[in-house]
Chains A and B, each alone.
Chain A
Amino acid sequence: MNRYRYHLLVALCFLLLETALYLVFMYAPTESTMGQVQRIFYFHVASAWISFLAFFVVCAAGIVFLKTGSSEWDRLAACSAELGVLFISMVLLTGPLWAKPVWNTWWSWDARLTTSLVLWLIYVAYLMVRRYSVDPERGARFAAVFGIIGFLDVPIVYLSIRWWRTLHPSAVIAGGEGSGLAPAMWTTLMAALLAFTMLYITLLVLNYRIISLADRAQSAKQASLRRPLA
């Protein structure tokens, strides 16, 4: 990909994010009981979805990497994991900001909140395994193995904590009776989701590029060290 395509990607991402911001603050109606603070919902939910997407990519890329052994997939998994941690951190930051005025508490140990926190811990551990491995090649394999297990763990963690106790509202979308969004809110959520997906893709592409360049620089450095002095 040449440089202009990166520029195009960033420009497109910027446009979508601006549109989403406009819709969130100007177009979407104010929620009747929660008021203005509910607008954080669009960022909160979009970040949560993107973090799941990112962790799914980590798991899938990990499986392909273990099967083929090609380092591109490992690099993809590494980039996606970093972004996943970024977005899940966003979820954990926007959640309490919204919860304090609405639930009158920053945090509750309910199924979704606890699962998000466990998820955050799992993927921070994932990044640590990668970074702290003695041998980088084995580190990539450890990370792939841990990424697969971590992702499989998510539904089980969620299920078990849900049985334990729950307070978080059931899913607004397809969450059964009493759930549902006003059409304008729905449009805004979809726009926010699209913008965040684009942001994820843009960051993933740029991050991938940076890591590839760093790898190339590293191997060039090693090659020059091996060359005998003239």
Chain B
Amino acid sequence: MNFIQPIRSILLKDLLLEWRNKDILVSMLVFSLTVVVIFNFVFEPGSAEMQATVPGILWVVFIFASQLGLSRSYAREQENGLMHGLLLCPVDRSLIFTAKALGNLLFILLVEVVTLPVMTVLFDLQFHHQWPRLLLVLGLGAWGFATVGTLFSAIAANTRSREVMLPILLFPVSVPIILASIKSTSYLLSGRNVQDIDPWVRLLIAFDVIYFVVCYLLYEYVVEE
């Protein structure tokens, strides 16, 4: 298949680069642990308040860590004119977008997978045997951020205020992902039944599909010079 090959090559290139110096992943992970520790001071440990706000904290950690990773991953592309090289490849721009979004997705997922157990231990989270749904929510939320974030990090990197610009663009637009992820996670952690959770999961899926299509179509206008 001639669209899988380029996506795989670009994705492998990103993963190899990350494997060689690990700066994005390490900084995302250490950052998320730091935020977890800071949040511990906001509430009385073990209080009911804390249990109610843990899903929110969880997503705040993921959102901020992903935003950091997204801006780093695009900045790396700009060093030594890598992006020019990538654009010169005889490959459709939308495939470059898909590959970059998949790479960002993997970074965000990895941060989630490492942070979640730590949070579970530190905040005594209960999962009520809802593992598959929880993983689905984590994956869908991460994918939403990865798609919109991949597009916006390309925009933000070409403005004068770079790192500050990305959250300003990303956060208001991703309000639906943030809401749906927090709501479904909090329902999952408080053991609510499936009928309450599923509308939010469906909203996440709808958002992910719409935004993937839109970003896929618009990416070429953003990277074109």
Contact = CB atoms under 8 A, between A and B. Distances in A.
Contact of A133 (B159, B168, B207): B159
B44 interface: no
A8 B161 CA distance: 42
Nearest to A156: B176
Interface stretch (B20-28, B58-66, B116-124, B216-224): B216-224
A70 to B, nearest CB: 14
A108 B207 CA distance: 26
A215 interface: no
Interface in A153-183: 153, 156-157, 159-161, 163-164
Contact of B214 (A66, A144, A152, A160): A152
A122 interface: yes
A142 B206 CA distance: 24
Interface residues of B, number: 33
B172 A134 contact: no
Contacts of A152: 210, 214
Interface residues of A, number: 30
A150 B173 contact: yes
Interface string B1-25: 0000000000000000000000000
Given A134-B160, A156-B176, A160-B179, A145 B168 contact: no
Given A144-B221, A148-B214, A161-B175, A138 B158 contact: yes
B189 interface: no
Interface string B126-164: 000000000000000000000010011001001111000
Interface string B159-195: 1110001001101110110011001000000000000
A159 B183 CA distance: 14
Contacts of B45: none
A132 B159 contact: yes
B203 interface: yes
B225 interface: yes
B158 A156 contact: no
A217 B103 CA distance: 46
A165 B162 CA distance: 35
A47 to B, nearest CB: 20
Contact of A164 (B159, B173, B179, B222): B179
A11 interface: no
Given A129-B169, A161-B175, A161-B179, A138 B214 contact: no
A147 B225 CA distance: 19
Nearest to B204: A160
B168 A125 contact: yes
Contacts of A66: 218, 221
B172 A121 contact: yes
A149 interface: yes
A145 to B, nearest CB: 5
Contacts of B175: 118, 153, 157, 160-161
Contacts of A135: 158
A146 interface: yes
A134 B155 CA distance: 10
A122 B176 CA distance: 13
Given A141-B222, A156-B207, A157-B175, A146 B168 contact: no
B155 A142 contact: yes
Nearest to B167: A125
Contacts of A122: 172-173
Nearest to A130: B159
A69 B206 CA distance: 31
Interface of A: 66, 118, 121-122, 125, 128-129, 132-135, 138-139, 141-142, 144-146, 148-150, 152-153, 156-157, 159-161, 163-164
24 contacts: A121-B168, A122-B172, A125-B169, A128-B159, A128-B168, A129-B155, A132-B165, A133-B159, A133-B160, A134-B159, A135-B158, A142-B158, A142-B222, A145-B218, A145-B222, A149-B148, A149-B151, A152-B214, A156-B206, A159-B176, A160-B175, A160-B179, A161-B175, A163-B199
